[in-house]
Amino acid sequence: MRGSPRESSQPAVIFGLACVVFGLFLNPWIIARTLSPDGILDKGTTIAVLLFDGLFLLAGVVFLVLRRRFNPARCVGYLARRWPNLTASAFGLALCLALLALVEHGFYYVNARAKDPEVYYYSNGDLHGYDPYLGYKPFPDHESMVTLTWNGERVSSVTYTFDRYGRRVVPGGEPDAARTKSILVFGCSFVQGSGVENDETLPAQIAAEAPSYAVYNYGYGGYGTQHMLAQLEKPALPEELEAPADIALYVFIPAHIRRCYGSMTVMNRWGSYFPCYGVHGDSVLREGNFREAQPWRLWWFRVLGHEQIMKRYNMDVPLRITDAQVRYTAALIVAARNRFKDRFGSDRFQVVIWPRHPRDETPGTRIIPFLQAEGVHVLNYWDAPEAGDPRFLIPHDLHPAAFAHESIARRICEDIALSAGSAGGGDPAQ
């Protein structure tokens, strides 16, 4: 015997009311008060919560309106009999998503209350702004003081000065009657000289060791291999040099590999506007920036980047560096070598393998075979004994200290015969 209309509508009423109550309860105010330490949700989280609220409320209203025509138990039973495997899979997927949501909320709670290291940087103004060619670039003719503190105590306080082209100045390395040729130094914050004064950077120390050369600092924090290639392709580059370029130095660290191909962390945090290059056989061509060339990949990284589990364990995607990614980075270095030779008629392009660092996830020497196969000159300082000296890194910050720049600059100038009275040296990578 069929049940009464009232009995048949009860499951739909219960299900509908449950959806309505859940939709009303799961609101931004309650989420903020229970999971956010400061009682505030960011804009993206608020939108996501409101979207789920709307879906549950809509479902609840639909079930209540159609309560006499819709019996959830009968529908589930019919689906289970008609498509048993599909129904079981859907139930399992729903259960997995529910468990994942619970785990995510748990990790959100843990992450929100995790105590960050008490290290702070203070600046009397921004150092850089958006640049359509490089993603971002230091402001020209700009000076700013940056202070690093740890647990309330000052670790360092330095002044960054940039010239009219957005390059950090190199005191003593300006072109003059004696410095008739120039050295271009490319890289990231290790070349820029994060945490050290203008005259303590690697380019400044090279200028002190090489009296016949003007030195230009083209490094900046967060840059990758593609920035060197983009800078060497810049049409106006020769106009920026008061002394013709004779030597190019690229300071390589393993972190450049992830910046080069655009990992999840790089694209989500600071590098979505970075130059993007495609490697097609022997041809390396610029394809715009990551946003333009890889929009779907960026979207997927944005989704993954919000996962609390990944934030908790500081996970990046891809999870590990592969030979394909190292080979891709090497291809961009080779292209930069070729651009430098074509534009300035010099084959004095050197890749400096910076000494091992506590945060390196793969050896810097891993890229050497790929470079040597293409005839790129390498200065391999990966095992330089100076790196074990406590003076090599800035405490807590872990960027190279003035001692590091001075010692590596001396090595470079001796190995490629730049120092006054130097007899020259071989290739340390051999």
Given pLDDT bands bounded at 50, 70 and 90, which one contains residue 72?
A: low
Domain limits, the chain: 5-112, 119-415
214: three-class secondary structure by DSSP = strand
Neighbouring-strand partners of residue 158: 146
DSSP 300-322: HHHHHHT-HHHHHTT--SSSS--
Over residues 97-110, the pLDDT tens digits come to 777 777 766 766 66
Question: Which phi-psi region, left, alpha or beta, contains residue 277 (left: φ > 0; alpha: ψ -120 to 50)?
Answer: beta
Give the tens place of pLDDT for each residue, 148-202.
Answer: 888 778 888 999 999 999 999 999 999 999 999 999 999 999 999 999 999 999 9
Give every strand in the sheet of 213-217, ordered side by side.
Answer: 213-217, 181-186, 245-252, 349-353, 377-380
| % of the chain surpassing 90 pLDDT | 60
Alpha helices (H) in 36-83, listed in sequence order: 43-65, 72-82
- Whether 65 shows a pLDDT value over 80: the answer reads no
Give strand ranges (E) for 66-141.
Answer: 119-123, 128-131, 135-138
Q: What is the mean pLDDT of the chain?
A: 86
Task: Specify the range with the lowest mean pLDDT, choosing from 112-121, 134-143, 348-357.
Answer: 112-121
At 24 the pLDDT is: 80
Predicted local distance difference test score (pLDDT) of residue 429: 46
Does the pLDDT value for residue 426 go beyond 50? no
Full DSSP string of 382-429 = TT-GGGGSTTSB-TTT-SB-HHHHHHHHHHHHHHTT-STT------TT
Q: What is the pLDDT of residue 203?
A: 98
Q: Is the pLDDT of residue 68 over 60?
A: yes
Query: With the CA atoms of 8, 12, 18 and 19 taken in that order, what torsion angle do they form, in degrees rounded to the nearest 10?
Result: 180
Whole-angstrom distance, CA of residue 356 vs CA of residue 37: 38
Choice between 8 and 208, residue whose per-residue pLDDT is larger? 208
Across 238-266, average pLDDT: 96
Give the contacts of 236 (CB within 8 A, at least 6 positions apart).
Answer: none
Contact 316, 264 (CB under 8 A): yes
Mean pLDDT throughout 325-354? 97
Distance of CA 280 to the CA centre of its chain: 24
pLDDT tier for residue 9 given thresholds of 50, 70 and 90: low
Residues 304/310, Cβ–Cβ less than 8 Å: yes
Residue 229 · residue 339 · CB < 8 Å? yes
Distance CA 108, CA 140 (A): 41
Q: Residue 46 has what pLDDT? A: 75
pLDDT score for 425 = 43
CA pair distance 294, 67, nearest whole angstrom: 47
Q: What is the pLDDT of residue 327?
A: 97
> Which residues make beta-bridge pairs with 279?
284
pLDDT digits (tens, 9 = 90+) for 343-385: 999 999 999 999 999 999 999 999 999 999 999 999 999 999 9
Q: Which of 412 and 68 is assigned the larger pLDDT?
A: 412
* Domain 119-415 classification at class level: alpha beta
Residue-wise pLDDT tens digits, 286-305: 999 999 999 999 988 988 88
Q: pLDDT tens across 376-425, in order?
A: 999 999 999 999 999 999 998 889 999 999 999 999 999 999 876 554 44
Instruction: Give the global pTM.
Output: 0.80
Identify the residue whose tokens are 């003719």.
141
Q: What is the pLDDT of residue 412?
A: 97
DSSP states along 242-281: SS-EEEEEEEE-THHHHHHHT-HHHHHHT-TTSEEEEEET
pLDDT of residue 34: 61
Give the residue among 325, 170, 169, 336 at the shortest CA–CA distance from 258. Answer: 325
Q: In the structure, what pLDDT confidence band is assigned to residue 59 with cuts at 50, 70 and 90?
A: confident
Please say whether the beta carbons of 355 and 383 come within 8 A.
Answer: yes
* Element counts in the chain: helices (H) and strands (E): 17, 12
Q: pLDDT at position 335, please?
A: 98
Average pLDDT over residues 324-330: 97
- Joined tokens for residue 6: 């009232």
Rounded CA separation 325/318 (Å): 10
